Amino acid sequence: MRIEFLSLLLIVVVGSGSTRITTTEPQTGEAKQTTTSQPAAKPSPEPVKETRSDPVAQLREQIDAATPGPERNTLRLKLVGELVAANKKVDALAELRSLVNTDVFDPQGFYNAGNAFARLGDNEGAIQAYRKAIEQRNGHYTRALNNLGVVLLRTGRWDEASEAFVSALKLEGFRYPEASYNLGRLYAARGENDMAVREWRRVLALDPQHAAAADALAHIGDEGRVTVVSAKSTPEPRSNTQKSAPKVAARNSVSPKTLVLDPVSFDLLQRARSQTEKGKTIEAIDSYQRLLSREGGYFAPANLELSLVFVTSKRYEEAVSNLQMVATRDGSHFPISYYHLGRLYESRGDLKEAEACFTQTAAAFGKKNVQFLLDVSRVREKQGNFKGALEAMESYLTTIGEQGQQPAWSNERLTALRAKAEKN
């Protein structure tokens, strides 16, 4: 994953939306040596020792004197850099939180604050800062959207990450290599290899020197569960003892990780995906359904993707029907289907079914994405199963604690659940 960081040193605005990094050295001042007109017999005063001013103290004075606004935020970000350099991470984070909570119009400053939070490992702070920057630009801030998506992906909030990446790509006419690369990482994390391949190829078409995308393509078989290919690019296996090779045993699968479509169906799938990206939901539904009619009503990636288009169109029953097919037939290869099914069950109040789906999702992804334990905890709490909710929450916090993370809300949440569990 790539996040477009900026340094924690002084960040100077040089144009509309562009930045450059400027390093500043602590200011030094030499105190002049003075002597008095005294008789030669008396010793001269000792010279004043050369001193070096404290950059942190200086910056605090400048901040106090500055008018609230972008220039003051720039000074505060420079102060954060000095605090980090002095190994005062707690103070640096406190300064950033204070900055983000100011009522100032400064999208550039909040974007830079998000980068600083991300560098310091505070995901929640980064998300808040990026969202504020994006809001102040009325959603038109591609770099902030990309970086927001990276942090959301890092924390396992895949649906929100996807929304951020796709929003950034739409603003750039799908010609934003970093957002495409990161979206591909998200697809690979969910086990949708062919979608990841599609994004990484888009990256290389725009930037042939993008080493990370090239490397990801080279190792795609190690990353996920399923890849869809066109039959025209998959040679028929040959046997020395038979005149013609046998057809694939399963109707459209050659291995647990590869699904094959004939060229017409493959083109329909790619068309449906492009239409979905562009928000042409009616056309996308038609393309998916035409593909499925050619495949006997079932082709797991198409059913899964079609279900999400149905959700966008508020055709929930059709979404549930398609997700149930995928979960029943190919849940091991597409465990994300359990998650989306669980969300739909929860939205209509079927909490037992939702809990079962979220539990399956959490088990399938394990430590690769413990975010699903929060869904398990939430629906258990809704059912009055506070001990079960507490157990899932503790498992979640234990795992992310091993990764060096501790959400700001964790103590308050645990205290509330423990109190409910004790009363139950």
Domain-wise residue ranges, the chain = 1-24+55-137
Within the chain, what is the greatest distance between any pair of CA atoms?
118
User: DSSP string covering 195-222, please?
Assistant: HHHHHHHHHHHH-TT-HHHHHHHHTGGG
What is the dihedral sign for C-alpha 378, 380, 385, 390? negative
* Segment 249-264, tens digit of pLDDT: 333 443 446 889 999 9
* Segment 359-403, tens digit of pLDDT: 999 999 999 999 999 999 999 999 999 999 999 999 999 999 998
Mean pLDDT of the chain: 84
pLDDT of 92: 96
The C-alpha angle with vertex 35 and arms to 31 and 37, in degrees rounded to 5, equals: 155
* Segment 58-103, tens digit of pLDDT: 999 999 999 999 999 999 999 999 999 999 999 999 999 999 999 9
Q: Which CATH class is domain 1-24+55-137?
A: mainly alpha
The C-alpha angle with vertex 312 and arms to 308 and 316, in degrees rounded to 5, equals: 75
Band (406; pLDDT cuts 50, 70, 90): confident
The C-alpha angle with vertex 305 and arms to 193 and 382, in degrees rounded to 5, equals: 105
- Rounded mean pLDDT, 313-330: 97
Band (35; pLDDT cuts 50, 70, 90): very low
* Segment 177-188, tens digit of pLDDT: 999 999 999 999
Interatomic CA distance for residues 17 and 394, integer angstroms: 42
Q: pLDDT at residue 248 above 50? A: no
pLDDT of 7: 37
* Segment 6-27, tens digit of pLDDT: 433 333 333 333 322 222 333 3
Band (220; pLDDT cuts 50, 70, 90): confident
The phi and psi torsions of 117 (rounded to 5 degrees) equal -60, -45
Three-class SS state of 168:
helix
- How many residues belong to the chain? 424
- Of residues 325 and 3, the one with the higher pLDDT is 325
Q: CA dihedral defined by 327, 322, 229, 295, rounded to 10 degrees? A: 120
Q: What is the pTM of this model?
A: 0.79
347, 329 Cβ separation under 8 angstroms: no
pLDDT of 407: 85
